[in-house]
Structure 1
Amino acid sequence: MRHTLLALAAIATLTMGTAQAEVATYAIDPSHTFVTFEIGHMGTSTNRGRFDKKEGTAQLDIAGKTGKVDLTIDATSLSTGTPAFNKHLMSADFFNVEQYPTLKFSADKFVFNGTKVSEINGTLTLLGKTNPVTLKASNFNCYQSPMLKREVCGGDFAATIQRSQWGMTWGANYGFPDAVQLVVQVEAVKQ
């Protein structure tokens, strides 16, 4: 009986060690990660922009259905394809990059559908204010990269935010909407 209890204790210890070993750390791949935004323009078309510089890490435990992400976005890398529009968006009217050169998304609550991440609940810090944001996945997958010879995980995520929550209200009196669509395409490489 004593040997059986010792064997069960050893198996339990090994199992706990295995569960912890399933937490993996990933580095955000900036060449496969894009943070974009979309906002309606006077009810006729959609203005779009993106941030070209970003970095961060993620932790993922698919078996334990947990995750964590920290993504830092360089607001000065904003690009719309139109220099004059970039300049206005970087001004104090919008992103105020002189005072707030970075945006940050942090999350420690992942929702899974089977082995796929379906939602990430976190916070977005913008213009010195932090508010909750839920990114919903339209795609999520992990694969063995033939080029990197490492596991890569990522997906397409989106959220609609109200920009006024962060104090970004310029243009509201002209009819520009408060709602902004955030789209995050992300891939991260297992370290």
Structure 2
Amino acid sequence: MKTLSLTLLAATAALAAAAVRAEPATYAIDPTHTFVTFEAKHFGTSTNRGRFDKKSGSISLDKAAKTGKVDITIETGSISTGTGPFDGHLKSKDFFNVEAFPTATFTGDKFTFDGDKVTSVAGTLTLLGKSQPAVLTATSYGCYENPRLKREVCGGDFETTIQRSTFGMSYGVPALPDNVKLVIQVEAIKQ
């Protein structure tokens, strides 16, 4: 009986120690390895693509507990398609209305894992002052020890498709399709 009690005590102490070690780590978005891009059909023919050049944010990740939180802010005025007049139209009230709404945000706190890999993050996308649920699905995910920084870096490729009209961006619908694919390539450095 005494041996069983000592074994249970040791097991409890080990679990308590593991719980103390299972604290979330904070990661800062690396803007040089993070890109937010979009794809939208142009009158049902070719695909228009563009990106947002300015973004920031942080990720809190507890791998042991399989939980986390992500906050990403995108400066809508940093949109770039490679064509100045098109960028100007996208910045106008017809689309992103960057003067009134200079940022878009994604905040997620429902992480899904497959083993050690994040497979999706559910949360809220806010665009043009309207918030809608969104799920970013990982097409790839991993962590590595950065040889230059000597710190862990985690990241992956995530995507979702939104209906822009649900955010009040209904210019040209239905001639210009409503669905827009967002692709977020993200890497974040452990702090």
Q: Smaller-chain TM-score range?
A: over 0.9
**Does residue 62 of structure 2 align to residue 56 of structure 1?**
no
Q: 1:11 Cα shift?
A: 3.5
Q: Secondary structure at the match of 2:165?
A: helix
Aligned to 1:176: 176
- Post-superposition offset of 1:6: 5.8
The total of aligned residue pairs comes to 188
Structure 2 residue identity aligned to 1:188: A
1:15 to partner: Cα distance:
2.6
Distance 2:109 2:149 in 1: 27
Among all aligned residue pairs of Structure 1 and Structure 2, give the percentage whose two residues are the same amino acid.
Answer: 60
Residue identity in the other structure for 1:110: F
| Counterparts of 1:110 and 1:63, CA distance in 2 | 12
Contact 2:22–2:63, Cα closer than 8 Å, also in 1: no
- Is the contact made by 2:49 and 2:81 (CA closer than 8 Å) also made in structure 1? yes
For 2:124 and 2:44, the matched residues in 1 are separated by 29
What code does the residue aligned with 2:109 have?
D
Cα deviation per residue 1:70-118 (whole Å; 9 max; x = unaligned)? Answer: 0001111111101100000000000000000000000001101111111
Instruction: Tell me the alpha carbon deviations over residues 112-152 of structure 1, each in whole angstroms, 9 at most, x when there is no partner.
Output: 11111111101100000000111111100000011111100
Q: Compute the displacement of 1:8 (Å).
A: 5.2
Q: Give the counterpart letter for 1:183 in structure 2.
A: V
> Normalising by the residue count of structure 2, what TM-score does the alignment of the two structures yield?
0.93
Question: Offset of 1:7 from its aligned partner?
Answer: 4.8
CA–CA separation in structure 2 for the residues paired with 1:45 and 1:59: 38
2:96 corresponds in structure 1 to: 95
CA distance in 2 between counterparts of 1:155 and 1:38 reads 18
- Could you tell me which runs of 5 or more consecutive residues in structure 1 were left unpaired when the two chains were aligned: none
What residue in structure 2 maps to residue 110 of structure 1?
Answer: 111
Name the amino acid aligned to 1:131.
Answer: Q
Which amino acid counterpart does residue 148 of structure 2 have in structure 1?
M
Q: Which structure 2 residue ranges, 5 or more long, are not aligned?
A: none
Q: Which residue of 1 aligns with 2:25?
A: 24
1:172 partner SS: coil
Q: Distance in 1 between matches of 2:181 and 2:12?
A: 51
Cα distance in 1 between the residues matched to 2:119 and 2:47: 26
CA distance in 2, matches of 1:31, 1:100: 24
Once residues 117 and 14 of structure 2 are traced to their aligned partners in structure 1, the CA distance between those partners, rounded to angstroms, is 28
The correspondence of residues 142-157 of structure 1 with structure 2, limited to 5 A, is 142-157=143-158
Instruction: Find the counterpart in structure 2 of residue 14 from structure 1.
Output: 17
Partner Cα separation in structure 2 for residue 151 and residue 104 of structure 1: 25
Relative to 1, partners in 2 of residues 1:76 and 1:46: Cα closer, same or farther, differing over 3 Å? Answer: same
Structure 1 residues 146 and 8: alpha-carbon distance in aligned structure 2, compared to 1, 3 A threshold: closer
Amino acid at match of 2:87: N
Structure 2 counterparts to residues 60-139 of structure 1, below 5 A: 60-139=61-140
